[in-house]
Amino acid sequence: QSKSLGKNSFHFYSQALEKEALMQLAIEQSLRSAIASDELYLVYQPKVDLHSMKVVSVEALCRWTQPDGTVIPPDVFVPVAEQTGLIIDIGFSVITQACKQLAAWHNVGIHDVAISINLSSLEFQHKALINHLIQTLTDFDIDGKLLIIELTESIFMEDKFSIKETMLLLNNYGITFALDDFGKGYSSFSYLQFLPLHYLKIDKAFLQDVESNRSSAAIAKTIIDIGHNLDLIVIAEGIEDQFMLEYVKEFHCDLAQGYYLYKPMSAADFECVYAEASQDKQSQ
């Protein structure tokens, strides 16, 4: 009895694994051709200064729309891309697209909006990718001050001296750094001090239940205070309603990003948002 049960449960287990492996393989194969045929593109989510309520930068977020219209979110394809090394190809494309966009905006008179891109630890440690970044910046004659790199806490698991060296190299071009999803993972306050960071993004999990959970609110407030004490600009992500917005304002957070303010949008839609905002300013 127990033997057959064991065999059965093993059977189910291996079936589930096989299904998962097949799915991964399917994603990997279509991702490979997606990269080759430019099915991956960027959308941009504005970040707002909480004092002026002006848009100061946008975060570039990768999207994959398959030929049949299916949109696959990055939470699904980025992990597969990391396991297969395809993330490096994605990184090359993301860097090129973001720099092209900065140059295009420069040409239509948008000079004061920075773009942030997300780079995984794997990407950030890839020398050729970093060289591509510097080369593209130079080719398009872009002021590095308009480029922000978002790194997650997983970077703390890597060789901190080599990470710092790359950050300092890019700092020379004016590029700045944000620590993304702070508080979610391997937080270490000593690393916050060690790395040349400019921005701290509080993980949206702490903000999502500030209304109902007093300890989340306390953590959010504490992170904002720590950030300020370390001279970092603090960004609240995942602002979904008026209540959350008021909360982070009250806590003296500097910048905010979230569906309540703006959803991720195409570059063309952002140009409209930007134009409307400058018109409002002129009519005031």
Q: Which of Mg ion, ligand C2E, none binds 231 (CB below 5-8 Å, type-dependent)?
A: none
**Residue 92: how many CB atoms within 10 A of its CB?**
18
Could you give the CA distance from residue 147 to residue 132 in angstroms, rounded to a whole number?
Answer: 14
Distances (CA, A) of 44 to 140, 165, 217, 258, 284: 20, 29, 28, 12, 27
Q: Interface mask (CB under 6 A) for ligand C2E, residues 28-67, using x and -?
A: -----------------x---------------xx-----
Q: Is 150 in the site for Mg ion (CB under 5 A)?
A: yes
Could you give the CA distance from residue 46 to residue 163 in angstroms, rounded to a whole number?
Answer: 27
CB 81, min distance to ligand C2E, A: 8
Residue-by-residue DSSP string for 20-73: HHHHHHHHHHHHHHHHHTT-EEEEEEEEEETTT--EEEEEEEEEEE-TTSPEEP
Q: Is 118 in the site for ligand C2E (CB under 6 A)?
A: yes
Could you give the CA distance from residue 217 to residue 209 in angstroms, rounded to a whole number?
Answer: 8
Q: Is 123 in the site for Mg ion (CB under 5 A)?
A: no
* Piece of 158-166, 223-231, 234-242, 272-280 that binds ligand C2E (CB under 6 A): 234-242
CB 85, min distance to ligand C2E, A: 13
Q: Which of Mg ion, ligand C2E, none binds 62 (CB below 5-8 Å, type-dependent)?
A: ligand C2E
Q: Which of Mg ion, ligand C2E, none binds 264 (CB below 5-8 Å, type-dependent)?
A: ligand C2E
Which residues of the shown chain bind ligand C2E in the complex (CB under 6 A)? Answer: 45, 61-62, 73-75, 78, 94, 118-120, 123, 150, 180-181, 204, 237-240, 258-259, 264
